[in-house]
Amino acid sequence: MALSTPKVLVTGACGQIGSELVPELRKTYAKENVIATDIKEPPPELKETGPFEWLDVTNRKSIGHIIKKYQVDIIYHLAAILSAKGEQNPSLAWQVNMIGTYNILELARELGIKQVFIPSSIAVFGPETPKVMTPQETILLPKTMYGITKVAGELLGEYYVRRFGLDVRGCRYPGIISYKTPPGGGTTDYAVAIFHEAIKNKKYTCFLREDTVLPMMYMPDCLKAAIQLMETEASRLKHHTNFNVAAMSFSPAELATEIKKYIPEFEIIYQPDERQAIAETWPRSIDDSAAREEWGWQPDYDLPRMVEDMVRNLMANLNK
Ligand code: NAD
Ligand code: AKB
C-alpha cells in the first residue's frame, strides 16, 4: 500500500523564516500539502502556491479546526514575538509565545500529530551564561520576556516528549540573516537592515555598539537546520527541543568591513539603543557539538560567503 504524503501546518508563515521555509517544504511535500497560516496578509508567493489560512495561535479552537480540516501530520510552529518587540509588549510576548506554544502542544497530543518543530533561540541564555563557545547544557537565566518564553517552550516541549511520547524538536537559532522578508523585531535585526541601507543610501546608523559580537546564521543554513533535524531518525536524538546550532559570529564593525569590500563608500555610525542591553546578555559564540554529533549539523555559510550572497541578491533585486 502506498503511503500518503504527510500534511504540514506552518504557523507564523509570513515571518522572516516562514516565508522561506514554506516554499522549501512545498518542494518536499507538494504544494497542496503545506498549509501556511498567519495573522497577517500573506505575500503572493505564499498565497498563490498553496493553501493559506488565517490562524491566531492564541485561539486553540481555531488551531484544532485547521488541524482537523487538513488532517495535519506535522507542525512547524513559528508564530512568535521576538526579543525587542517582546520588551515593548511583554504581555503580548507571553500570550503568543507561551499560550500559543501550549495550544500547539496540547492539540498535537490530543489529535495525534506525528512531529512538531518549535524553534528556540540564543535568547535562552543570560548574563550568567559562559559567553564564549556557550555549552549545550549551561545556565539558562534570560532577562527578556522573549528569552523566558523560549526557555519555558524548550522545557514544555521536552515534557511532552517524555510524558506523552510526542515527537517535538527544536534548535536554538542565532540571529537569522536573509534578504527576502524583513526580520520581525529582534535584537539581531541590524545585521539585515545594514545591507539594505548600505546598498540604498551607503550609510547606516547601527543600534548596537561596534564591538558587540553575536552568533548569526544565513537563511539557507537556518532552513537546512530545521529540515535536517526533523528528518533525523528519532532514535539518534538524545536532546530534542534545545539543540545549540552555530554558523558564524561577528560584530557590527566586522560586518561593515566585509560589506565595504563590495561598497567601498559605505559608512556606519553607532547609536546604541535599548537593544544593546539585550545583546549584552547573549553569548558571543556557541558550541554546537551535540547537533553535529546527533544529527550531522554543519553550516555552509561563513561571514564572507554570506555577505557576498546578500549583496549580490539585494543588488539584483534593486535592478529588477
Ligand atoms: P517573525 O517575527 O519574522 O515572524 C513571526 C510571525 O508570527 C509573523 O508573521 C507574525 O505575523 C506571526 N504571529 C504573531 N502573532 C501571531 C499569532 N497570535 N498567531 C499567529 N501568528 C502570529 O519571526 P521569525 O524570525 O520568522 O521567527 C520564527 C521563529 O524562529 C520564532 O519562534 C522565533 O523565536 C525563532 N527564531 C528566530 C530568529 C531570527 O533571527 N529570525 C532567531 C532565533 C529564533
Ligand atoms: C532576536 O533578536 O530576538 C532574534 C533571536 C536571536 O531570537 N533574532
Cα of 18 vs centre of ligand 1, distance in Å, is 8
Region 284-310: mean pLDDT is 98
Longest dimension (CA), the chain: 63
How many Cα atoms are found within 13 Å in the side-chain-facing hemisphere of 91? 0
Q: Which amino acid is at 207?
A: F
12 lines ligand 1 (CB under 6 A): yes
Nearest ligand to the CA of 16 is: 1
Considering the domain 8-175+218-244 in this protein, what is its CATH number? Answer: 3.40.50.720
Cα of 265 vs centre of ligand 2, distance in Å, is 29
Closest CA to 189 of 252, 236, 232: 252
Dump pLDDT digits (tens) for 27-71.
999 999 999 999 999 999 899 999 999 999 999 999 999 999 999
Q: 200: pLDDT confidence band, cut at 50, 70 and 90? A: very high
Dump pLDDT digits (tens) for 71-93.
999 999 999 999 999 999 999 99
Region 164-178: mean pLDDT is 98
121 lines ligand 1 (CB under 6 A): yes
Ligand 2 pocket residues where CB is under 6 Å: 82-83, 121-123, 146, 174-175, 186-188
Q: Percent of the chain, pLDDT > 90?
A: 97
Cα of 157 vs centre of ligand 2, distance in Å, is 20
Cα of 184 vs centre of ligand 1, distance in Å, is 7
Marked catalytic residue, from 29, 76, 146, 190: 146
Nearest ligand to the CA of 93 is: 1
Dump pLDDT digits (tens) for 102-160.
999 999 999 999 999 999 999 999 999 999 999 999 999 999 999 999 999 999 999 99
The angle that helices 252-260 and 190-200 make with each other, rounded to 10 degrees, is 30
CATH class of 177-216+248-284+300-318: alpha beta
Q: pLDDT at position 4, please?
A: 86
183 lines ligand 1 (CB under 6 A): yes
Residues of 48-85 as b/e, b for ≥16 C-beta within 10 angstroms?
ebbbbbebbbbebebbeebbeebebbbbbbbbbbbbbb
Mean pLDDT (the chain, rounded): 97
DSSP 8-state code for residue 232: S
Quote the cell numbers at residue 141.
Answer: 537565566
pLDDT for 1 beyond 60: no
Give the CA distances from residue 91 to residues 95, 125, 144, in Å, rounded to whole numbers and listed in that order.
Answer: 6, 20, 12
176 lines ligand 1 (CB under 6 A): yes
List CB contacts of 4: < 8 A, sequence separation 6 or more: none
Closest CA to 37 of 7, 17, 9: 9
146 has catalytic annotation? yes
Quote the cell numbers at residue 25.
Answer: 517544504
Domain boundaries, the chain: 8-175+218-244, 177-216+248-284+300-318
Q: Residue with the nearest Cα to atom 4 of ligand 2? A: 186
List CB contacts of 300: < 8 A, sequence separation 6 or more: 218, 220, 221, 224
Q: pLDDT at position 318, please?
A: 78
